[in-house]
Chains A and B, each alone.
Chain A
Amino acid sequence: MSNETDRLVSDAYDELANERTPEALNREVLRLAAKEGRTRYSIARAWMRPAAWAATVGLSLVVVLELTNMPESDMAPLPESVPIDRAAAPDVSDRRQDTVNEDTMLESEARDERQGALAKRSRPYTPEEQTAEKAMLLDDAPAVSMDTAPDEVASQSLDPQRTLETYDPNDLSETMERAREQVGQPSLVPMGVEQKAATAPERSADRVSESQAETAAEQSARTAPRAESFAAGITSLGAESDYLCPVEARQSAEKWLKCIQELEASSPRELIDREYEALRKIYPDFEHPATDK
């Protein structure tokens, strides 16, 4: 079977075979195909996808709008829902309500304090406030040197007019410089004791050096409660000049006793006895054979 023969037969057949499918037959087959092909799922699928997209977009828009319009206070988590049986118990719910009320009161108080502080800062400083702030900057109490006269000290600390004139809240450098100068003075021991010591001219030989004074000040700061009781005892006994031992030695019973024993050889006996007596009064619990005399 050559290609030439095949082509001749094919051409002849093509001229012969020109029938077309009857249109009625076409309609019947296509009707059957449409009937069988359009399942319930395919019918639903035609609108299911657009509907799903529209629903998704719509829900997203609603959520975004709700979140945008929701006030910030509403964003807080809601309280847990109370089951019916628990809600019927009055004590639990009352306690919870009390807790809520207490929290609300604390929050409102804190808010008032903050608002008060803000209002206070917004108005200009009064002279008293400026004085108080300066005192706070100078560590609450102005340090006084031993050379300063008591009257001058009193006038420095109690003259608000002078403080107001010299104080500039915006110029802290001057204030800090003055504070630094005062800190650099020989002694920074508590004011009452130091003032009394400064007024006794015969005790000037016992003055300690600057470094010793600073050390004493640090030690006094560490033993603040004991120093307070000690100062109270000193005040009840009398003036600072009545004692042989210095203040540093009288801060502990052992040191005081050691100081007295060192002075026993070079001091009159009555002064030594009076020192022992003072030791016993101030430290009644301290037991030592020498103090029992």
Chain B
Amino acid sequence: MAASADILTITGRGPLSSGSALAYAPRMDHAPDDSALMLRYKDGDVAAFEVLYRRHTDPLYRYLLRLCRHRDTAEDIFQEVWGKIIKSRASYRPTAKFSTFLYRVAHNCFIDHVRRDKRHSQNTELKPELHSDPGEQPEISTERSLARERLHVALMALPDEQRDAFLLHEEAGLSVDQIAHVTGSNRETAKSRLRYAVNKLRAAIDEPTERK
């Protein structure tokens, strides 16, 4: 999945998404780099920012949505994150990958939100959108829907640090080192968090099969 960061979606879907509804295309040579777009926006080019925003909006939204587990909170943090990106354009220096910079801001905003809101609880109001393929057999469709629900429940049950590491890996396509940089931890810690998260989710997905 990390290698898929080199591809660019043309449907507005996140770069790490896959499926029959998605169409991927190789990154065009003339496609401007994220840092270049940010620098153009720094010089007053609003259209460059819109391109940059469309490129990262959905993965960031899903990251915050599953990290916060509350839609309204995720939208507030989402606005706060982009507001900070917009305001920090004057001091922006392309020293690191833009996505690393973006998700570090989002992670910090989430941490600030948790510290501000003591009522931040483990309960989630987020429900998985269960949809099925019309041409799929009913038994298989039901099984896949149940698997997605179990994955959702397992993901919401993960500790915040492990869920954060997994979402950064899946939505932003960050490597272990970049996850460590975003979360402010060392590489081994980030790697351990990611491994625990994946193992738990794998266990949740495989649970019915093991029962058989």
Contacts and interface: CB of A to CB of B under 8 A. Distances in A.
Q: Does A associate with B in a complex?
A: yes
B199 A13 contact: no
Given A5-B202, A12-B151, A16-B151, A37 B49 contact: yes
B82 A14 contact: no
A165 interface: no
Interface in B82-140: 82-83, 86-87, 89, 128-129, 131
A142 to B, nearest CB: 96
Contacts of B25: none
Interface in A1-50: 1, 5-22, 25-26, 28-30, 32-34, 36-39, 41-43, 45
B57 interface: yes
A31 B159 CA distance: 35
B53 A29 contact: yes
Interface residues of B, number: 48
B205 A12 contact: yes
Contact of A1 (B45, B128, B199): B199
Contacts of B49: 30, 33, 37
Contacts of A16: 128, 148, 151-152, 155
B61 A20 contact: yes
Nearest to B49: A33
Contact of A15 (B12, B53, B62, B144): B144
B79 A29 contact: yes
A30 B155 CA distance: 31
A30 B50 contact: yes
Contact of A20 (B1, B12, B128, B155): B12
B160 interface: no
Main SS of chain A's interface residues?
A: helix
Contact of A39 (B44, B82, B152, B195): B44
B152 to A, nearest CB: 6
Contacts of A14: 16-19, 170
B148 A32 contact: no
Nearest to A44: B44
Interface in A41-98: 41-43, 45
Interface in B26-77: 41, 43-46, 49-50, 53, 57-58, 61-62, 65-66, 75
Q: Which residue, of A12, A21, A32, has the highest number of chain B Cβ atoms within 10 A?
A: A21
Contacts, number: 114
B38 to A, nearest CB: 11
B17 A26 contact: no
A50 to B, nearest CB: 16
B65 A32 contact: no
B50 to A, nearest CB: 6
B201 interface: yes
Contact of B44 (A7, A8, A28, A45): A45
Contacts of B78: 21, 25, 29
A21 B57 contact: yes
B41 A37 contact: yes
B147 interface: yes
A25 B43 contact: no
B177 to A, nearest CB: 16
B171 interface: yes
A26 B86 contact: no
B44 A38 contact: yes
Contact of B129 (A7, A19, A42): A19
A1 B195 contact: yes
A16 B50 CA distance: 27
13 contacts: A1-B195, A7-B1, A10-B170, A12-B205, A13-B155, A13-B201, A14-B18, A14-B19, A16-B155, A17-B66, A18-B17, A18-B131, A33-B41
Given A9-B205, A18-B19, A33-B49, 6 more contacts: A12-B147, A13-B170, A20-B58, A29-B83, A33-B50, A42-B43
